[in-house]
């Protein structure tokens, strides 16, 4: 949740059945970037976190944080 709450970048992927929003933010330690995937549903007043791991280079590029 820390990486989601303090995200420094985000992008969406609409290639699947629902729009997935990827957030990139710091771990609690502040030394590692984490990627967090979230699905937002119009019929719920909530966000469902469906993915979390150390940020991969591909995700950092898509978020504009790496070349």
Query: Does the structure show a pLDDT above 80 at 59?
Result: yes
Whole domain around residue 20: which residue ranges? Answer: 2-62
- Strand residue runs (E) in 2-41: 9-13, 20-26, 33-40
In a domain, 45, yes or no: yes
Chain segment 20-55, per-residue pLDDT in tens: 999 999 999 999 999 999 998 778 788 889 999 999
**What local confidence, expressed as pLDDT, does residue 12 receive?**
93
Torsion of CA 9, 64, 39, 48, to 10 degrees: -40
List strands edge to edge, sheet with 9-13.
9-13, 20-26, 33-40, 47-54
In a domain, 48, yes or no: yes
In a domain, 29, yes or no: yes
Number of domains the chain contains: 1
């Amino acid at each position: 949740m820390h990486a989601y709450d303090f995200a420094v970048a985000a992008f969406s992927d609409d290639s699947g059945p629902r729009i997935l929003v990827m957030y990139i933010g710091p771990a609690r330690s502040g030394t590692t970037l984490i990627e967090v995937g979230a699905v937002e549903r119009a019929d719920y007043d909530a966000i469902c976190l469906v993915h979390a791991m150390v940020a991969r280079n591909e995700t950092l590029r898509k978020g504009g944080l790496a070349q």
